[in-house]
Structure formats: C-alpha cells, structure tokens
Structure 1
Amino acid sequence: MLAETLLPNGWLHYLLGGLLIGAGTVVVYATTGITAGASTFLESTLSYVSDRSRFQQFRFTSTRDWRVVFTLGIVLGGTIYGLAFGEFGWTTEVQWWRLLFGGVLVGVGTRLGKGCTSGHGVCGVGSLSETSLLNVATFVGIAIGTAQVVQALGVTP
C-alpha cells in the first residue's frame, strides 16, 4: 500500500535511472579519477572565457572539457527521455520567479557546501565520505523542514 502511494507509476524506471546514474559516475571516475559533480560546471566553464585568476585555477581548466560533456549529457538525456516517452515540456505550475529564486539559493548552497547532491549524494555517499554523509543529511533535513514550513504557511505553487 505504501509503495503504491509513494510510487504510483511503479518502481522500475527509478531502478533503471539509479543504475544509469551509478554507471555514469563510475565511468567518469574510472576515466578521469575525478568525482562526478555538477556544481563546479559554471566555474570550470567560465575558465574558457574569463582570464580572471579565480577561473584559471588548474582544478577548473583541467576538468572543464569533461564537465561540459557531463552537463550536456544530463540535458540531452532528459531530452531524449522526454521525446521517447512523450513526457516533454513544462511540468510544474510553480511561477518562474520562484524557480529562479530557488535556483539561486541552490547555487549559493552548493558553494557553501562545497558540492552538490550529485557530487555528495551520489559519489560521496557511495564512497562513505564522512563530509558527504553530513552534507546529505543536512540537505535532506533542511529540505524536509522547508517543505513543512511552506506547507504550514499555506504556500502553494
């Protein structure tokens, strides 16, 4: 009963998605020796066009090519899925300004947390990193708390 409530469309596509994400992170790590994560994409991409020393650090210039491929793979994967299964387009009723504001907060959080849910949540937890375990617990705890506060305030999309 609980599974049907939480997963009304079944569980198989979640399993497949998890396996693909896991396989992708293994490929990135095996071929580059770097943990797959999306939060440093912007900084590493800016190293192409900015001559500021902040963006010309070796950690950005040495990883920028695969980070572009990694991010394009995320976008193209979602696009291919949407086209293949007819689930393509805008799927939320949340106003654009709330999405923008939330995106900015997520960006600030990834810098403060020194990583994002893809780096900490998938790769860090998988390697039993104490820092990543703490960060993921913080992400989840704050997300649950925020959702409860927003719901209590009666805010709707």
Structure 2
Amino acid sequence: MEWFNVGKIVNTHGIWGEVRVISTTDFADERYEVGSELGLYKADGSKPIIVKVASHRKHKNFDLLTFEGFSLLKDVEPLRNAVLKVSEKYLTDLEDNEFYFHEIIGCTVESLEGETIGKVTEILQTGANDVWTVQPAKGKAHYIPYIEDVVKSVDIDNKKITIDVLDGLLS
C-alpha cells in the first residue's frame, strides 16, 4: 500500500498536545477530519505509526491538529518534523482536469510539436493557480502555470503532459 504526503509537523502549539502542520494537500478538511487515520513518519526514520485525528482547526497559514492518545505537550514534542501521510485507500476520485500531486510529479512535459521540455519536479501553490516546476535535462528549471491556455493535455497513465509554449514561457 502506498502512502502520500499531506503535511509536515513543524512545531507544537500550546500545552494541550496540538501540533502545527504545514499542509501539502488541497483537501485539508477531508484529510484532517476528526477520526481520519494518518501515517506519521518521524524524522529519525523510525517505523511509522498510525494516528487518528482528534481535532482540526485552521490558524493563520497552518493546520492545527491533535491526535487521539497525544493529549499533552510532552506527548507531541517528539513529533516535530514528522511527515503526515494518507493511505491510497483514502484517496477519492477527482473531477476532470484535477490531479493529485503525486500523479503530476515525475511526468514528462512536451511541447505541442513533440519537443521534450523536462520533468515535473515540484508543484507550487500560488493561490491563483498551481505552477509546475519543470526541470530540463540541462539548464535551469522552467515554471509552467497550470492554466488552460498553457496545459493542453495530461496523460497520467503515460506520465506525459503536453503544453503550448507561449512566447516568453521558457525564457
């Protein structure tokens, strides 16, 4: 079974076992819903543990979570820098032209003419639209906005994305 990143615990919050999470999912309300199970992968590389979300709330740019059985500050301090992951069995079907990050990262990006531009290495969330970091075989990365005018097709099965290279896009 595969596990996919949904966030990273960056600190504790208060004294009652709350942790501060930088989320890497578009589905925070769903992933952090009370009762949801997440894999907790500690920074020390120890065996991951399954935690159940006891509470979730937003605070500034963070998601604040508590887990069942971790009710005090001393219980969650060792969790700092741990990565939270969701099991593939909890992934839901998305609407047309929506994709999970893990489906896009690693795809080869080509122009309409068939020229290989590079591979998607990262997805940046800007608020307006996602921007895909595309690393060519040589040279510096390109930043491709995920908008209809640029991204013409996404073939997840073949890990191939076709874009219209607008003037100035790759400079």
Question: In which range does the TM-score fall when normalised by the shorter chain?
Answer: under 0.3
More strand by share: 2
Question: TM-score scaled to structure 2, two decimals?
Answer: 0.24
Question: TM-score scaled to structure 1, two decimals?
Answer: 0.25
Structure whose CA Rg is larger: 2
Does 1 or 2 have the higher relative contact order (CA < 8 Å, sep 6+)?
Answer: 1
More helix by share: 1
